[in-house]
Structure 1
């Protein structure tokens, strides 16, 4: 099995499970996604313990206030009883101040450094206003701060559902950490949909800021190679984004019903020492050499299942961005002769190095999908065609992910797919580069439909 990897570097989880804290920080560097302001108004942060009254705590106070309003409305509808406000309070911690008073579940202020968490024993939420929230705001915009706090409030919801640390210790198989984190991501997605629908008094998270929200969320993924069964696993980027989007689309009742029986996770550990040591990342040319015949075999089966004859498309290396059929990016489907041109000189190798080898895989899979559509007589121009091509890239990904042998996905690949889809629309451009799927939030969702549902979701009939 091929093993691919990411070049993103992990940091250390700052709050350990022994503290009983639902800490969710695992920030990794990457391409920032610009995010706009989401606050329509400003809430007085004086109810926050330890606040300095500054802009970051004002934004946090605004987010907390509206998340509470959301749950006052949604909790009775979801669980049939009234919402109970947090009894332990909200804490803002200046971790740069060695004399700062520590919040519950910690011994000193520095324990909060780089983190935001829910403390179930005290029913309290705390965050680092010096080294977390302003960093997220600077990289991803206000939406990042809102998402983090909505996620932590999701853990407070779980406590009110009876999912407590005691329950998790009694039955860890029923409440693994990766499941409770997915549920909190899902609850955060439901809240963002409520805001997006214009129901929030103080926040406005529109479609243009959803990409920054997801960009922030995937910075809290687990290190590549973490097993889904790890006691402290929080989820990879693909699983966390999936949970968030499920909450956004399907609501709080769906989130509350998540269980080990109905929730599958894609996160997996490395399968060999060699794989672990090299991160599994194939060099650019080797990735092209291995994935191209695999794509050819997969789409041949798709075409033949549709009653047509497949001819292996010719792939051509170019020294510049392909121009055979409009602006499709560094890989282009060329209708004449049904060929595929690949920029092997600059942009694609750079994306490969920056994000990982499956960024190359996703882009190439979408163009092979257009070849298959052309053979099957399916239109390759327009937004519907762009959607089908992207979905087909997801369907191919489903195939290689579920294989037991041969060319397959490795830890990190699905995360790389999410990253490239959020940052670029190349995999979602039609056969002439004139139509695309956007924003990134929607691209990820279309790709997911292929991953979870297969060819049947891709509109080929």
Structure 2
């Protein structure tokens, strides 16, 4: 990727500050985005973590691999923190694209905040640990990422490359876009009246639309500033496919159960990411078409 633009100023760095996981989820928002419960189990198997410690947290996906020098307080030295700069530059790119998209709608885009943390932290949706991956909290409008853990997870899932990492950030920002457009609220009302497989189906459509929004961002940013290099699109497609529910269920030694999907199959995730990448339009990302009781 070519990231020559300025870093976003909307990055809150909590690394080295600790942070509790107590208190559970508070009212006012359910964290969205990420790799889901099956992937959490895979992470536990990879890293030897007790699944009971982390199940119930918000989901996520991988971020860029990095090596950091740290200060005595445990916070990465600013001049050596390539991971933070990368995340801030990607966030800055998303801000430029979505400000322009909202302006075309006659609306004003409100930038989200990207929270970098280490180990555990508190969000407006409750406590979070790194093992649950990146997620978006609608109630405080913040994206939460532990870069160190995501670097490990990226290697484990085989979703390597800087653009694969950028796709993950853009996916979570896609949930912020859904929140501002009222899509998350409408979907939650439908989910509350559904339950079971119907609720899962709604969640899948939410996640697939965030994949499409990530593709839309990449196209618009590349058209404006030529950020993509050879191999980047393949990295993004691979990252989208790596966190498909069917692939994760197989890798966990389970049979594939489409009725349990919450994020979509590998093929669906890659297809919707490509749709956004090829079309570059909000209207092309209507993953809710034909779904009863929902009009996007």
Q: TM-score range by the shorter chain?
A: 0.5 to 0.7
SS of 1:259 mapped into structure 2: coil
| TM-score normalised to structure 2 length | 0.63
In structure 2, how many angstroms separate the alpha carbons of the residues matched to 1:255 and 1:153? 18
1:254-333 correspondence to structure 2 within 5 Å: 254-261=283-290
1:194 aligned partner: 220
In structure 2, how many angstroms separate the alpha carbons of the residues matched to 1:262 and 1:246? 19
Q: Could you say what the CA RMSD is over the residues aligned between the two structures, in angstroms? A: 3.2
1:18-417 correspondence to structure 2 within 5 Å: 20-25=30-35, 53=78, 54-77=81-104, 79-86=105-112, 89-95=113-119, 101-108=121-128, 110=129, 112-133=130-151, 135-136=153-154, 140-164=160-184, 166-172=185-191, 176-197=202-223, 199-200=224-225, 204-222=227-245, 223-224=249-250, 225-227=256-258, 229-230=259-260, 233-261=262-290
Query: Contact 1:214–1:241 (CA<8 Å) still a contact in 2?
Result: yes
| TM-score normalised to structure 1 length | 0.42
Query: Contact 1:23–1:115 (CA<8 Å) still a contact in 2?
Result: no
SS of 1:244 mapped into structure 2: helix
Query: Contact 1:21–1:118 (CA<8 Å) still a contact in 2?
Result: yes
Task: Tell me the CA shift for residue 217 of structure 1.
Answer: 1.6
Query: Contact 1:25–1:220 (CA<8 Å) still a contact in 2?
Result: yes
Task: Tell me the CA shift for residue 262 of structure 1.
Answer: 7.2
5+ unaligned residues in a row in structure 2: which ranges? 1-23, 44-63, 65-74, 192-197, 251-255
Which one has the largest radius of gyration? 1
Query: Contact 2:135–2:144 (CA<8 Å) still a contact in 1?
Result: yes
Task: Tell me the CA shift for residue 218 of structure 1.
Answer: 1.4
Task: Tell me the CA shift for residue 56 of structure 1.
Answer: 1.2
| Structure of higher RCO (CA pairs closer than 8 Å, 6+ residues apart) | 2
Query: Contact 2:163–2:232 (CA<8 Å) still a contact in 1?
Result: yes
How many residues in Structure 1 have an aligned counterpart in Structure 2? 215
Task: Tell me the CA shift for residue 215 of structure 1.
Answer: 1.2
In structure 2, how many angstroms separate the alpha carbons of the residues matched to 1:52 and 1:241? 36
In structure 1, how many angstroms separate the alpha carbons of the residues matched to 2:159 and 2:262? 25
In structure 2, how many angstroms separate the alpha carbons of the residues matched to 1:85 and 1:170? 25
Task: Tell me the CA shift for residue 256 of structure 1.
Answer: 4.6
In structure 2, how many angstroms separate the alpha carbons of the residues matched to 1:176 and 1:262? 9
Task: Tell me the CA shift for residue 257 of structure 1.
Answer: 3.1
Task: Tell me the CA shift for residue 258 of structure 1.
Answer: 3.0
